[in-house]
Chains A and B, each alone.
Chain A
């Protein structure tokens, strides 16, 4: 598609349940990022995928969070045993890479997760 697509757009889940969030990056974008944005706050880096390289997981807040990406396509962010503090908007972005670095960062509209 023309942009970064995320699904679902909204998710309400009960505390303790697992959730999966999906991101479809822009075709041809080799890099993919997940960010978390709590209400009224900035974007918090979670994880970064670049091609077939090992992902940078340095932003994942706990072992309840994990993400996968198959090749240069879809990524899923999984949160296990959700807690109320996991409530936030989860944003995905993708970018191109060339010899000058990564550029063309484009964000999806996010998934608003509410844990009740």
Chain B
């Protein structure tokens, strides 16, 4: 069946460094992708999205890259800060969202 997965369950990053979180998806019909951040005890918070007709989109300190050829999505966080520590989920949308298990990002001071 279709699935969305994250390559690494955990990522430890030095404060100030850049972070890269990767995600693979399998439904070639998905046309919309979203990255969410989830802090403990809270619901997922939207970070950035990208449609399938794009391969890159930038936000504030974040960039999402989409490679439809290999069905790969990544989130880059520039100058990682302690407040970036959270679980990050990628989600693909055909009409409903399908989520991977998440990557836990820990920022070291």
Contact = CB atoms under 8 A, between A and B. Distances in A.
A65 interface: no
A105 B93 contact: yes
Tell me if A's interface is mostly helix, strand, loop or mixed.
strand
Interface residues on A, range: 20 to 34
B97 interface: yes
A105 B99 contact: no
B95 A101 contact: yes
A25 interface: no
Contacts of A33: 96-97
A80 interface: no
Interface stretch (A13-21, A39-47, A67-75): A39-47
B43 A101 contact: no
B96 to A, nearest CB: 5
A31 B95 CA distance: 9
A109 B102 contact: no
A106 interface: yes
13 contacts: A33-B96, A35-B97, A35-B99, A41-B101, A43-B99, A45-B97, A56-B96, A101-B93, A103-B32, A105-B34, A105-B46, A105-B91, A108-B43
